């Protein structure tokens, strides 16, 4: 399942999403999900939601991973496992040697291919930042460094 604007539905389906939730049609975190339709992992790659808003959508023993770690998420990382079977992790938690080796293998075998929306030369880094700051990306913004 992927959450995106309707204009990116075909794109995320091409990436492998079997269900698409259009966030422009209302707050997707307020949707009711039966137990068999809750999620094992919610990975907020944009930083537009919080654990508090998503926790009812998570199964027991599920994981919430925010892209943006604010104070509430840092506190949730400590508090959540004490009070429930769920876990809140940061991207830093995922950067262990085994996980990185798995990601490297997936990338080298072309199973994991990050979508690149645009590549900027280093001298256009300010424009790259402006594009990222719009928050409406359908792929990665890359800044190419000179060799």
Residue 95: band (very low, low, confident or very high) from pLDDT cuts 50, 70, 90? low
Whether residue 147 has pLDDT greater than 70: no
DSSP secondary structure of 32-80: ---GGG-EEEEEESS----HHHHGGGEEEEEEEEESS--HHHHHHHHHH
The Cα 95–Cα 28 span in angstroms is 29
Is 51 buried (19+), middle (13-18) or exposed (0-12) by CB count in 10 A? buried
Distances (CA, A) of 126 to 43, 94, 106, 123, 131: 27, 29, 31, 8, 9
Distances (CA, A) of 40 to 33, 57, 58, 90: 13, 9, 6, 16
Whether residue 20 has pLDDT greater than 80: yes
Calculate ∠ Cα 94-77-103, nearest 5°: 10
pLDDT at residue 121, as a whole number: 94
Tens of pLDDT, residue by residue over 56-87, are 898 888 888 887 777 877 787 777 877 787 77
The Cα 17–Cα 2 span in angstroms is 6
Tens of pLDDT, residue by residue over 103-145, are 788 888 887 777 888 999 999 999 999 888 877 777 788 999 9
DSSP secondary structure of 98-116: HHHHHHHHHHHTTSS---E
- Whether 35 and 18 have beta carbons less than 8 Å apart is answered as no
Tokens of 9: 């539905």
Tens of pLDDT, residue by residue over 42-59, are 888 877 888 888 888 988
């Amino acid at each position: 399942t992927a959450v995106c604007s309707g204009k990116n539905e075909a794109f995320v389906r091409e990436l492998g999403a079997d269900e698409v939730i259009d966030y422009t049609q209302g707050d997707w975190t307020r949707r009711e999900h039966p137990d068999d339709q809750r999620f094992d992992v919610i990975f907020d790659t944009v930083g537009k939601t919080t654990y508090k808003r998503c926790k009812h959508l998570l199964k027991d023993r599920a994981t919430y991973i925010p892209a943006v770690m604010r104070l509430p998420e840092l506190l949730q990382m400590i508090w959540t496992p004490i009070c429930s079977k769920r876990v809140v992790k940061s991207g830093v938690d995922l950067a262990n040697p085994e996980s990185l080796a798995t990601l490297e293998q997936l990338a080298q075998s072309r199973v994991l291919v990050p979508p690149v929306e645009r590549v900027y030369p280093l001298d256009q880094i300010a424009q790259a930042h402006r594009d990222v700051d719009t928050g409406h990306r359908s792929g990665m913004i890359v800044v190419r460094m000179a060799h």
